[in-house]
């Protein structure tokens, strides 16, 4: 048994690496929103279409990705996902050469297919290797910490690449970040190709006979899927709209705005790292309840503080150092929400798939369909910002976190324990 556990170290490390890739490529859409708004004269709504395309791909690929897990396993699904991701980022690079908004959207959409496939692999894999609910959540939180590192680097890097000259803020300026993404894809493919990956549920899934139940037979899974739809929209919407707010209304330099958005993702890294440490001792329900409550408070403070009050805030900069920036207090409250959103993904996934057993692979694919909320809700928030102003758009975020709190307290209870899952 000890040897078997030792053999899991490398697979877990590979899942962590895939977590990093997911955030790096997904995170590109945040600063790209600022670039697109400048290069193509887009509205706040249109500037979020790249992010929308990236996440709406989950709606198309989630179920097929879950079926791929059943048919070809975790490793082959991940390898195909990496190929698709390389192509998607390559098309984004091509859009810069052609200066084409439609090609840019196509690249974001194809990249979204890859991110969906990778998420379908890494979450149930880490959850399964954790052996129990708390350990599974712990592994996902540590993986999420690496996910946040990638998300921290991207807005800071692209903000730095854009520079202070507004006329030169084009997709082509972000090429170094795109090259890094393609390089990571290529390297990870080569390493993963030679690594043996355990298949926690595949054998059982292949032998399973048809029955009248499915993941949607479990109330806590259905409500959890809704929670993840809302959560990803909240996680992405907070920094994306804040970035537009800072660069458009507050007229902050994109490089400074990028450091603030990068700080949001860095705080998510800290939160997930701490979540990984305490995850083996604190239940997902308690963790989710606490951060949701605090998140609601921060959003309310951000909306009602205004921009007159300012504060010096530590930020994460492009040269991998920390410094102080004078920012509106409301922006500070939005940025520190990263500590709250940090552990929500792992906690919701853990609670929603708890006790599903043989239904886990298909459930993971269905779960990924709901990640499209990361594209839909920020687009809606962008529209609200166009109509009612940036800060009023955060009422959507407030409502989303309120639902997540409801799920933690009430909706996460498994009331279908009579269904056989083995």
State pLDDT tens for residues 63-94.
898 888 878 888 899 899 999 999 999 998 89
**256 lies in some domain:** yes
- pLDDT digit string, tens, across residues 215-258: 889 999 999 999 999 999 999 899 989 988 888 888 777 778 88
**206 lies in some domain:** no
Residue recorded with tokens 């890097």: 157
Inter-residue contact 394 to 305 (CB < 8 Å): no
pLDDT(361) > 80: no
pLDDT at 296: 97
How many domains, in total, are found in the chain? 1
pLDDT at 281: 81
Average pLDDT for 128-140: 66
Taking the model in full, what pTM does it have? 0.76
- Mean residue pLDDT of the chain comes to 83
Average pLDDT for 155-173: 72
pLDDT(3) > 60: no
pLDDT(1) > 50: no
CATH number at residue 24: 1.20.1250.20
Among 87-91, 132-136, 143-147, 167-171, name the most confident range. 87-91
pLDDT at 4: 45
R_g of the chain computed on alpha carbons? 20
**31 lies in some domain:** yes
Average pLDDT for 380-396: 93
Domain extent, residue 292, equals 2-200+215-411
**Pairing of β 310-316 and β 322-328:** antiparallel
Of residues 190 and 198, the one with the higher pLDDT is 190
Q: Please state, for a pLDDT cut of 70, what percent of the chain lies above it.
A: 89
pLDDT(205) > 70: no
d(CA 338, CA 268): 5
pLDDT at 2: 44
pLDDT at 234: 96
**417 lies in some domain:** no
**421 lies in some domain:** no
Tell me the pLDDT band of 139, cut-offs 50, 70 and 90.
Answer: confident
**420 lies in some domain:** no
DSSP bridge partners of 240: none
pLDDT(315) > 80: yes
pLDDT(120) > 50: yes
Total residues belonging to the chain: 422
**36 lies in some domain:** yes
**228 lies in some domain:** yes
d(CA 202, CA 70): 6
pLDDT(14) > 70: yes
pLDDT at 278: 82
pLDDT(341) > 70: yes
Range with the poorest average pLDDT among 214-228, 307-321, 401-415: 307-321
């Amino acid at each position: 048994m000890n040897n078997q556990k030792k053999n899991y170290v490398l697979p877990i490390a590979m899942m962590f690496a895939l977590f990093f890739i997911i955030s790096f490529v997904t995170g590109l859409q945040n600063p790209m929103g600022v670039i697109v708004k400048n290069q193509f004269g887009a509205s706040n709504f249109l500037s979020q279409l790249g992010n929308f395309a990236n996440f709406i791909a989950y709606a198309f690929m989630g179920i097929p990705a879950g079926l791929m897990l059943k048919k070809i396993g975790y490793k082959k699904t991940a390898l195909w996902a990496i190929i698709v991701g390389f192509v998607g980022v390559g098309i984004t690079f091509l859009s810069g050469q052609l200066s084409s908004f439609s090609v840019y959207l196509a690249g974001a959409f194809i990249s979204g297919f890859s991110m969906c496939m990778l998420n379908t692999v890494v979450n149930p894999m880490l959850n399964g290797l954790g052996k129990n609910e708390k350990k599974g959540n712990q592994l996902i939180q540590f993986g999420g910490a690496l996910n946040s590192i990638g998300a921290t680097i991207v807005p800071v890097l692209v903000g730095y690449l854009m520079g202070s000259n507004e006329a030169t803020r084009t997709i082509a300026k972000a090429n170094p970040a795109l090259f890094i993404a393609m390089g990571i894809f290529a390297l990870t493919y080569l390493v993963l190709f030679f690594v043996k990956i355990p298949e926690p549920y595949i054998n059982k899934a292949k032998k399973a006979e048809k029955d009248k139940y499915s993941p949607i037979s479990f109330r806590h899974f259905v409500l959890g899927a809704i929670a993840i739809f809302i959560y990803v929209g909240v996680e992405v919407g907070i920094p994306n709209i804040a970035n537009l707010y800072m660069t458009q209304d507050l007229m902050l330099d994109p490089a400074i705005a990028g450091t603030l958005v990068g700080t949001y993702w860095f705080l998510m890294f800290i939160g997930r790292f701490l979540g990984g440490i305490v995850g083996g001792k604190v239940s997902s329900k308690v963790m989710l309840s606490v951060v949701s409550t605090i998140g609601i408070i921060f959003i309310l403070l951000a909306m009602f503080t205004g921009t007159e009050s300012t504060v010096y805030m530590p930020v994460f900069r492009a040269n991998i150092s920390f410094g102080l920036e004078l920012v509106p207090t409301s922006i500070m409250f939005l940025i520190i929400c990263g500590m709250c959103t940090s552990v929500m993904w792992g906690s919701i996934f853990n609670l929603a798939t708890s006790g599903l057993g043989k239904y886990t692979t298909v459930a993971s694919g269905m779960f990924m369909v709901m990640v499209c909320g990361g594209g839909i809700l920020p687009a809606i928030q962008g529209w609200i910002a166009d109509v009612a102003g940036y800060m009023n758009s955060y009422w959507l975020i407030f409502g989303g976190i309120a639902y997540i709190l409801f799920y933690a307290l009430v909706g996460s209870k498994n009331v279908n324990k009579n269904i056989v899952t083995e």
